[in-house]
Amino acid sequence: MFHELRFAIRTLLKSPTFTLVAVLTLALGIGANTAIFSVVNSVLLHALPYPQAGRMVLVLENAKGFGEMATAYPNFLDWAAQNKVFESQAVIREDSFTLTGVGEPEHIRAIKASAGIFSTIRARPSMGRAFLRDDDRRGAGGVVILTDGLWKRRFGADPSVIGRSLRLDQKPYTVIGVMPSGFRMPMMACDLLIPVGLDADMGRWSHYLTSVARLKPGVSMAQAHSNLDGISQTLQRQYPDSNGGWSLQVQSLQGYINDQVGTALLVLLGAVGLVLLIACANIANLLLARATTRRREFAIRAALGASRSRVVRQMLTESVLLALIGGGIGLLVASWGIDFLVSLKPADFPLAETIHLDSSMLLFTLAVSIATGLIFGITPAFESWRLNLNESLKEGGRTAGTCSRHALRKALVVCEIALSLVLSIGAGLLIKSFINVTKVHPGFRVENVLTMELTLPKAAYSDDIKTAAFYDRLLENAKHLPGINAAGAASNLPLSNMNWETGFYIEGQPKPARASDLQYAEASVVAGDYFQAMGMRLVRGRFFSGKDQRDTPKVMIIDENLAAKYWPNQDPVGKRLFIIGGSLREVVGVVGHIKYTGLDRDTRVEVFTPFTQMPYRDMYLTFRTSADPAAMSAAISNAVHALDKDLALYDVRTMQQLVSRSLSMRRFSVLLLVIFAGLALLLAAVGIYGVMAYSVAQRSHEMGIRMALGARAADVRGLVVRQAMRLAFIGVVIGLSTAFALTRVMSSLLFGVTATDPPVFTGISVLLVVVALLASYVPARRATRVDPIVALRYE
């Protein structure tokens, strides 16, 4: 083996151009595969970064017709006390605060968590202590645990931080612990942790918490389902109004993450795998061409006593060596590729911080390199096995084995075209889906709208009167700023990943006996000129006005979908709805339907309540501007601080940025698949060019004779182009059949287009034929430049 390796190195060094082209092609293919597989491995295959993560599950509440929803805190307390399948359980929710008392005010991310979170995720503070059950109850003293990042950034890694006081939304909290470096919460990022029970909503209607649990050793998912099903039935009997029709479901934490991004990542992995197969076909073609020039060498070696197996082993050694060199450089490509992928990823991409090259990726690259070398080396090695010793040693044996080799090269090119077609059709379907999504009207005018979030601290704004007074003054001052055309605010903003649903029923209809029989709508509390700032269409009635106050009749605005569903062919203005947990409200206006959760998602019907009748401390400020909205952020910040210097604005974005962010996962998938499809087309074009150039070189004497007998240059060009077109058409037919079967896998990623969309299939097929035509044109022109006299003399 050492002899074959040494000879392989010497042989590759003798052909630097061939070696460089092959190594770079393989480096791109193997590097891209390693980069994508690193993402798949970290997100889908590798265990979550928690001890015995396979036992971690989510507990979801579910009602027929509404799907999976978050957990109500009282329900959590009940099933946490009654279940027999969980070793520990906890609820968590994202929140945010303005941190003061340690330098300049700063908006920070927090997670409210119950005391069981630390035993559930098996993490403990590196300093201080975790939450106790007594910390996790209403009225308890405020305590907080810092993350390592916040401790270092705002407290200078001071080891005496334990016991220090800080203020969150102007309320005092005591630091009781610091989490270790690398600590992460499931599905959420944070700067600090606070007990959830301090101000938990005790209503069973309020589904707002994420439930995480750890199964007891040996407990199966089926057993957990069965146990929770019994508990949910008990809760339905005890609380029919709020829990009737609701069930409890269990889903593995890993399975939940897989559902979010699994299909997209597996499609990308399949795509990059096709690119590597196309690269293998290209290298195999190069090796076949190279083997033609080396057949006398192989024949001489055989004549001197080398066995056929020795020759085959030598060729496979060269192939695997090429692949290993390509794989080594591919690791550098993969490292750059991972950085590129992470920079492109959507903001909410799960476990992005765990994506990196590790020892398992080194083993993957090694395995892929060896497998790749064997794949593209097996065909030339097989041809060398079939070597005709006598023919190859004859001086006229120049064409020995040419027919079979050329047939193999044609077959490889057909495979390249077919695989490129499959990949390009996939990219075409995603592009068309993306275009369709971008054409969806969100229900409001996105241009020139600036948004930002503001949270009023409960300590300073303890009642509705103070809260309402602050926002009234702020919006009134803001709308007089130069460049501001309208100023408003809302408790929920479209496409902001924050939505609030409320149950309702129509006046005059029987009150539903069970909570699951209620109708649900997206709900938002709005202030000021919110509808005008968002550019929403008024269909009927009026917007809210100054006459809608706390002591006036309760009113609401609904969207046109709710009006069409419950009052078809009627004027809904003047009709009334019962809002669960609220009151009877009269409809005073109807606005156009908007896309709350995504341009590609069906949104529930929508209801809007005036801020003056339901003040809310956490609001999204919205401003319609006459110029660049981003340029107005400083002026608005000054207006806020003029009223309260301790407040911090955060998530300052234009509405166009929010729309763009909502499309980030689709954009991520489309961009990568287009890159891979473009690379596949390039490799296919190179393959077609190589086969046609090889064919012209082998048939140069034939071309010369044809031209000597009167054939025109156009006839010779047509001969070469027709040969390329035959290969292209065969590849397209095979590729169409394969794509018809495989594209169904990506149906869940498509929008407004079927997995077998005829225009995409037709357009990509034509593109492949055009690419084949262009790739064959240069060899076709070269064929017409053969000198007939030289060709005849050579014969």
For the stretch 399-409, pLDDT in tens is 444 566 677 77
Q: Which of 300-304, 396-400, 672-676 has the highest mean pLDDT?
A: 672-676
- Domain count along the chain: 3
Distance of alpha carbon 676 from alpha carbon 255, whole angstroms: 27
Give the DSSP letter of residue 111.
Answer: E
Answer yes or no: is pLDDT of 81 > 80.
yes
8 A C-beta contact, residue 583 and residue 554: yes
Whether residue 110 is found in the same domain as residue 188? yes
In a domain, 338, yes or no: yes
Shared domain for 159 and 74, answered yes or no, is yes
Rounded CA gap, 704 and 692, in Å? 17
Do 70 and 118 sit in the same domain of this protein? Answer: yes
**Does 218 share its domain with 139?**
yes
Structure tokens at 392: 């190859």
Q: Is the pLDDT of residue 65 over 60?
A: no
Average pLDDT value for residue range 582-591: 90
Residues 469, 466: Cα–Cα separation, whole Å: 5
Q: What φ, ψ does residue 94 adopt, rounded to 5°?
A: -80, 145
763 lies in some domain: yes
Residue 313 belongs to some domain of the structure: yes
Same domain, yes or no: 510 and 562: yes
* 291 and 235 inside one domain: no
Contacts 24+ apart (CB under 8 A), 470-475: 470/643, 470/644, 471/527, 471/528, 471/611, 471/615, 471/619, 472/527, 473/643, 474/621, 474/639, 474/640, 474/643, 475/527, 475/528, 475/529
Query: Residue 288 is part of which domain span?
Result: 2-43+259-438+665-794
Q: Which of 164-178, 274-288, 530-544 has the lowest mean pLDDT?
A: 274-288
The DSSP secondary-structure symbol of 188 reads: B
- Dihedral (C-alpha) 350, 356, 359, 362: value to the nearest 10 degrees? 110
Band of residue 541 on the pLDDT scale cut at 50, 70, 90:
very high
Of residues 706 and 321, the one with the higher pLDDT is 321
Rounded to whole angstroms, the Cα distance separating 466 from 460 reads 8
| pLDDT over threshold 90, residue 495 | no
Q: With respect to residue 316, please indicate whether it lies within any of the assigned structural domains.
A: yes
pLDDT digits (tens, 9 = 90+) for 716-760: 777 878 888 898 999 999 999 999 988 888 888 899 999 999 999
Instruction: List, for residues 686-706, the tens digit of each pLDDT value.
Output: 888 877 777 776 666 677 667
In a shared domain, residues 327 and 419 = yes
For the record, the structure tokens of 665 come out as 């996962």
pLDDT at 421: 94
Which of 108, 105, 170, 104 shows the shortest CA–CA distance to 145?
Answer: 108
- Which are the contacts of 509, defined by CB distance < 8 A and separation ≥ 6? none
The answer to whether residue 653 sits within a structural domain is: no
**pTM of the predicted model as reported, rounded to 2 decimal places:** 0.82
CA atoms within 13 A on the CB side of 606: 24
Pick the more confident residue, 441 or 697: 441
Q: Distance between CA 462 and CA 469 in Å, rounded?
A: 12
Give the closest residue to 128 by CA, choosing from 104, 145, 110, 113: 145
State the DSSP H helix or E strand holding residue 467, giving kind and residue range, or none if neither: helix 464-478
pLDDT at 729: 93
Give residue 395's pLDDT: 47
Residue where a domain terminates, one of 592, 619, 646: 646
Last residue of a domain, one of 616, 646, 676: 646
Q: Write down the pLDDT at residue 793.
A: 58
Return the structure tokens found at 35.
């980069």
- State how far the Cα of 171 lies from the Cα of 190, in Å rounded to an integer: 19
Q: Which of 98-112, 242-256, 329-343 has the largest mean confidence?
A: 329-343
Q: Domain end: 611, 646, 681, which one?
A: 646
In a domain, 265, yes or no: yes
Number of residues in the chain? 795
Name the region of 157 (left: φ>0; alpha: ψ -120 to 50; beta: rest). Answer: left
Give domain status of residue 595, yes or no.
yes
Work out the average pLDDT over 41-62.
85
Residues 704 and 611 in one domain: no
Residues 514, 586 share a domain: yes
234 band by pLDDT with thresholds 50, 70 and 90: very high
- Is a pLDDT exceeding 80 seen at residue 4? no
Whether residues 567 and 682 fall in one domain: no
Same domain, 193 and 269: no
- On whether residue 447 sits in a domain, the answer given is no
SS3 state of residue 641: helix
Q: Is the pLDDT of residue 389 over 60?
A: no
405 and 269 share one domain: yes
pLDDT of amino acid 225: 92
Q: What is the dihedral of CA 156, 161, 164, 167, to 10 degrees?
A: 40
Q: Mean of the per-residue pLDDT values for the chain?
A: 85
pLDDT band at residue 283 under the 50/70/90 scheme: confident
| 393 vs 28 pLDDT, higher one | 28
